[in-house]
Chain A
Amino acid sequence: MEVGGDTAAPAPGGAEDLEDTQFPSEEAREGGGVHAVPPDPEDVGLEETGSKDKDQPPSPSPPPPSEALSSTSRLWSPAAPENSPTRSPETSSGGQGGDPSDEEWRNQRKHVFVLSEAGKPIYSRYGSVEALSATMGVMTALVSFVQSAGDAIRAIYAEDHKLVFLQQGPLLLVAMSRTSQSAAQLRGELLAVHAQIVSTLTRASVARIFAHKQNYDLRRLLAGSERTLDRLLDSMEQDPGALLLGAVRCVPLARPLRDALGALLRRCTAPGLALSVLAVGGRLITAAQERNVLAECRLDPADLQLLLDWVGAPAFAAGEAWAPVCLPRFNPDGFFYAYVARLDAMPVCLLLLGTQREAFHAMAACRRLVEDGMHALGAMRALGEAASFSNASSASAPAYSVQAVGAPGLRHFLYKPLDIPDHHRQLPQFTSPELEAPYSREEERQRLSDLYHRLHARLHSTSRPLRLIYHVAEKETLLAWVTSKFELYTCLSPLVTKAGAILVVTKLLRWVKKEEDRLFIRYPPKYSTPPATSTDQAAHNGLFTGL
């Protein structure tokens, strides 16, 4: 039971601590390293929670009432004004006569706004920010009204809308959603949006700018980043795994090749190099970290995901790029310098992250070593083959079909292992197959994403976390399950029986166990850069201990 509580992804701990809503909280998790996976004693739990659960969930659209209520009351317990604010957002979102009176704008499922403390609009997912200044003014008014009572507004629940507020330094982020996402999940998305902004500007410089000039128009500095934010929000909606699970997705790859690539990255160093990442289509092939730079502060999966999204951007499609980037979880106030290049004509992308501002040419030399090494390994061909598995929709991102599992009735799943070797905890990962047949259209994907969100919210509910949910939805059946060894979400055909579902899940777990060396990076490589001569030594040592 305590596992359910600890795993609480976007919603850890009590309702009070607003700032530290860090999604991954692996530190809290102990006692990994166990093997036997297939579901043994939990079968009982399955029956139990399953049936108990079935009473409640088949209520598709409105949020689970009990949870919504309890969290509302918890959220609002410190601050009294429960009713008055619930009024005003309705008028602000619905009945206002400004430019966003546009029907289409109002029909969007989810809005995300970023504004400055002074109420200056910075970003809106839909519509033009200029047209929204009135709306944003109302938001600022709300926030400062609650603030004046020495409190902070966190969320407003109004009929089918949820409004979530997140204050980060001089920035205010607001999500307004009609989706089934919980407030904690929406807050997680807002944190990701904030992280994206920090990654281009750093928290310190945002603070400095507004300290200097309160009504500064941050859009000037964020010019060009709006589309990155759009992309981020789209991907969170369509492919929610990374954010929900606080983990990155790996390219399935034979372990010897992955280990060889890891060793290669470890060999190819440059002064000040802190992190090397090989990725394709936003998915991780392998990453190597410098021992000292990132020794104490392990690389946060949210930072790594941010980098993966970033290098996947079309802006990096040509040439070799050199740009400053901040890793908000690692150090929100400092820049790294990133070298990004596509290798060969492949969509394979190499990211070299270093601390030296003028190291472009050293990094470029390092890339050539990596490229040569990859040719020597024949890695390009192997990666090309891996890429050819994927269906056309996901442009050359290596992936696998759910058919590979060999469990009929299984349509899709998200699996995050928790029983991993100790040092592996540094790199939380998950795996999931391509979205296929019934989920090829956007609405379908959205529906599945909503269902995953709903299950996730219930597993990680702060008030009443669950370990197992069997949910019969209109067009599919889902089973979500968290144990000390894994967190799993499965989507099954609607005709599956409960016994059938258990069978499918058992099969899936066996398959994952069998394939885990291919699906996950078991031993993330590390290297040492500073002493140039001893680098090789250290690298080899690392290699051998790694193996």
Chain B
Amino acid sequence: MAQAHRTPQPRTAPSQPRVFKLVLLGSGSVGKSSLALRYVKNDFKSILPTVGCAFFTKVVDVGAASLKLEIWDTAGQEKYHSICHLYFRGANAALLVYDITRKDSFLKAQQWLKDLEEELHPGEVLVMLVGNKTDLSQEREVTFQEGKEFADSQKLLFMETSAKLNHQVSEVFNTMAQELLQRDDREGQAPRGDAAVALNEGPARQAKCCAH
């Protein structure tokens, strides 16, 4: 399986990219949807709070390889937490988003990390802490250093972004994509198992996807 997976990759990559599931988590109005929208559609608009979950896909080229990111943008509102937990399952990667102008959202991101670790085995999921809204840096409540330190202490990746100014947004997702590919190539069982699961449900959908 691992062989089949790895060696033909350059050939199959264009038609059958590997599928990775990425969830966006964080409190309400920190900019999760804006990050997703900026990345997938290169668009920014002030949108209403997400209702439930929103789903996006994007095929990313990383060097010679390409992969398909299934992005689950979850609602920050408490009332939707039960439904969003469903989509933690089988996630390969998570972006923990906070708003650099709101300390509470930073603390909430730490809470999300705990929730995530309860649902998934640590190390199984690639996590990046994202401080969004650097365009509002004059109102900053969480310093870069604070974010960085917390991320390091938890072995998370870390970046600061501005979805509004399109600062570092694609870098975030591309870094994740690269890491995911590397991990998938490098590591043994756990991530490969995940990828296989994702692929198992993938083909049917993808086949139709190509048809339209």
Residues on the A chain within 8 Å of B43, using CB: 318
Flag if A321 contacts B86 (CB, 8 Å): no
What is the CB-to-nearest-CB distance from B103 to chain A, in angstroms, rounded to a whole number? Answer: 18
- The 26 sampled A-B contact pairs (Cβ below 8 Å) are A200-B79, A201-B79, A220-B78, A224-B49, A310-B51, A313-B48, A314-B45, A314-B48, A315-B47, A316-B51, A317-B45, A318-B40, A318-B47, A321-B53, A321-B55, A322-B54, A322-B55, A323-B52, A323-B75, A324-B80, A340-B51, A357-B83, A365-B205, A368-B208, A369-B208, A371-B212
Flag if A223 contacts B49 (CB, 8 Å): yes
Flag if B55 contacts A323 (CB, 8 Å): no
Q: Kindly identify, within residues 19 to 72 of chain B, every residue whose CB is under 8 Å from any CB belonging to chain A.
A: 28, 33, 36-37, 40-41, 43, 45, 47-56
How far apart are the CA atoms of A320 and B71 in the complex, in Å? Answer: 10
One of A310, A318, A369, A375 near B56 (C-beta < 8 A): A318
What range describes how many residues of B lie at the interface?
20 to 34
Flag if B79 contacts A368 (CB, 8 Å): no
Residue A319, interface by CB 8 Å: yes
Residues on the B chain within 8 Å of A321, using CB: 50-55
- Complex: chain B residue closest to A228, CB-CB: B48
Residues on the B chain within 8 Å of A310, using CB: 51
What range describes how many residues of A lie at the interface?
35 or more
One of A320, A338, A369, A372 near B54 (C-beta < 8 A): A320
How far apart are the CA atoms of A223 and B33 in the complex, in Å? Answer: 16
Residue B77, interface by CB 8 Å: yes
Flag if A221 contacts B78 (CB, 8 Å): yes
One of A317, A324, A361, A368 near B52 (C-beta < 8 A): A324
Flag if B55 contacts A223 (CB, 8 Å): no
Residue B209, interface by CB 8 Å: yes
Per-position binary interface string of chain A over residues 288-326, scored 1 when its CB falls under 8 Å from any chain B CB and 0 otherwise: 000000000000000000000010011111111111100
Flag if B52 contacts A365 (CB, 8 Å): no
How far apart are the CA atoms of A369 and B73 in the complex, in Å? Answer: 24
Flag if A364 contacts B205 (CB, 8 Å): yes
How far apart are the CA atoms of A361 and B19 in the complex, in Å? Answer: 15
- Complex: chain B residue closest to A318, CB-CB: B37
Given contacts A314-B48, A319-B55, A371-B212, 9 further A-B contacts (CB under 8 A): A221-B77, A228-B48, A310-B51, A319-B37, A319-B40, A321-B52, A321-B55, A323-B51, A364-B55
Residues on the A chain within 8 Å of B208, using CB: 365, 368-369
Per-position binary interface string of chain A over residues 163-201, scored 1 when its CB falls under 8 Å from any chain B CB and 0 otherwise: 000000000000000000000000000000000000011
Residues on the B chain within 8 Å of A323, using CB: 51-53, 75, 80, 83
Q: A322-B55, A368-B209 are in contact. Are A315 and B86 (CB under 8 A)?
A: no
Residues on the B chain within 8 Å of A357, using CB: 83, 86
User: How many A-B pairs fall under 8 Å by CB?
Assistant: 96
One of A201, A313, A320 near B55 (C-beta < 8 A): A320
Residues on the B chain within 8 Å of A318, using CB: 33, 36-37, 40-41, 43, 47, 54, 56
Flag if A322 contacts B77 (CB, 8 Å): no
Residue A227, interface by CB 8 Å: yes
Q: Which 8 A-B pairs have the closest CB atoms?
A: A323-B52, A224-B49, A319-B54, A315-B48, A320-B55, A323-B51, A319-B56, A221-B79
Residues on the B chain within 8 Å of A201, using CB: 79
If over half of B's interface residues share one DSSP class (helix, strand or loop), that class is named, otherwise mixed; here it is: mixed
Residue A2, interface by CB 8 Å: no
How far apart are the CA atoms of A364 and B209 in the complex, in Å? Answer: 10
**Considering residues A227, A320, A369, which has the most beta carbons from chain B within 10 angstroms of its beta carbon?**
A320
How far apart are the CA atoms of A319 and B55 in the complex, in Å? Answer: 5
Residues on the B chain within 8 Å of A313, using CB: 48, 51
- Complex: chain B residue closest to A340, CB-CB: B51
Residues on the A chain within 8 Å of B50, using CB: 315, 321
One of B51, B78, B86, B204 near A223 (C-beta < 8 A): B78
Residues of A within 8 A of B (CB): 200-201, 220-224, 227-228, 310, 313-324, 337-338, 340, 357-358, 360-361, 364-365, 368-369, 371-372, 375
How far apart are the CA atoms of A358 and B208 in the complex, in Å? Answer: 20
- Complex: chain B residue closest to A372, CB-CB: B212
- Complex: chain A residue closest to B27, CB-CB: A223
What is the CB-to-nearest-CB distance from A325 to chain B, in angstroms, rounded to a whole number? Answer: 8
What is the CB-to-nearest-CB distance from B89 to chain A, in angstroms, rounded to a whole number? Answer: 9
- Complex: chain A residue closest to B52, CB-CB: A323
How far apart are the CA atoms of A364 and B212 in the complex, in Å? Answer: 13
Q: A358-B86, A361-B201, A368-B208 are in contact. Are A315 and B36 (CB under 8 A)?
A: no
Residues on the A chain within 8 Å of B55, using CB: 319-322, 360, 364
Q: Kindly identify, within residues 78 to 137 of chain B, every residue whose CB is under 8 Å from any CB belonging to chain A.
A: 78-80, 83, 86
Flag if A322 contacts B47 (CB, 8 Å): no
Residues on the A chain within 8 Å of B73, using CB: 319
What is the CB-to-nearest-CB distance from B126 to chain A, in angstroms, rounded to a whole number? Answer: 22
What is the CB-to-nearest-CB distance from B164 to chain A, in angstroms, rounded to a whole number? Answer: 16
- Complex: chain B residue closest to A368, CB-CB: B208
**Considering residues B33, B41, B77, B205, which has the most beta carbons from chain A within 10 angstroms of its beta carbon?**
B77
What is the CB-to-nearest-CB distance from B208 to chain A, in angstroms, rounded to a whole number? Answer: 5
Flag if B205 contacts A361 (CB, 8 Å): yes
Residue B211, interface by CB 8 Å: yes
Per-position binary interface string of chain B over residues 131-148, scored 1 when its CB falls under 8 Å from any chain A CB and 0 otherwise: 000000000000000000
- Complex: chain A residue closest to B72, CB-CB: A322
Flag if A324 contacts B47 (CB, 8 Å): no
Flag if B77 contacts A224 (CB, 8 Å): yes
Residues on the B chain within 8 Å of A220, using CB: 78
**Considering residues A223, A315, A318, which has the most beta carbons from chain B within 10 angstroms of its beta carbon?**
A318
- Complex: chain A residue closest to B202, CB-CB: A361
How far apart are the CA atoms of A431 and B140 in the complex, in Å? Answer: 51
One of A224, A322, A364 near B48 (C-beta < 8 A): A224
Residues on the B chain within 8 Å of A315, using CB: 47-51
Residues on the A chain within 8 Å of B75, using CB: 224, 323
**Considering residues A310, A321, A337, which has the most beta carbons from chain B within 10 angstroms of its beta carbon?**
A321
What is the CB-to-nearest-CB distance from B23 to chain A, in angstroms, rounded to a whole number? Answer: 13
Flag if A223 contacts B52 (CB, 8 Å): no
Residues on the A chain within 8 Å of B45, using CB: 314, 317
How far apart are the CA atoms of A91 and B212 in the complex, in Å? Answer: 63
How far apart are the CA atoms of A319 and B72 in the complex, in Å? Answer: 10
- Complex: chain A residue closest to B86, CB-CB: A358
How far apart are the CA atoms of A372 and B208 in the complex, in Å? Answer: 10
How far apart are the CA atoms of A221 and B79 in the complex, in Å? Answer: 5
How far apart are the CA atoms of A319 and B34 in the complex, in Å? Answer: 12
How far apart are the CA atoms of A237 and B14 in the complex, in Å? Answer: 53
Residues on the A chain within 8 Å of B209, using CB: 368
What is the CB-to-nearest-CB distance from B45 to chain A, in angstroms, rounded to a whole number? Answer: 8
- Complex: chain A residue closest to B82, CB-CB: A324
Flag if B205 contacts A322 (CB, 8 Å): no
What is the CB-to-nearest-CB distance from A75 to chain B, in angstroms, rounded to a whole number? Answer: 36
Flag if B56 contacts A223 (CB, 8 Å): no
Residues on the A chain within 8 Å of B36, using CB: 318-319
How far apart are the CA atoms of A340 and B50 in the complex, in Å? Answer: 12
Flag if B53 contacts A322 (CB, 8 Å): yes
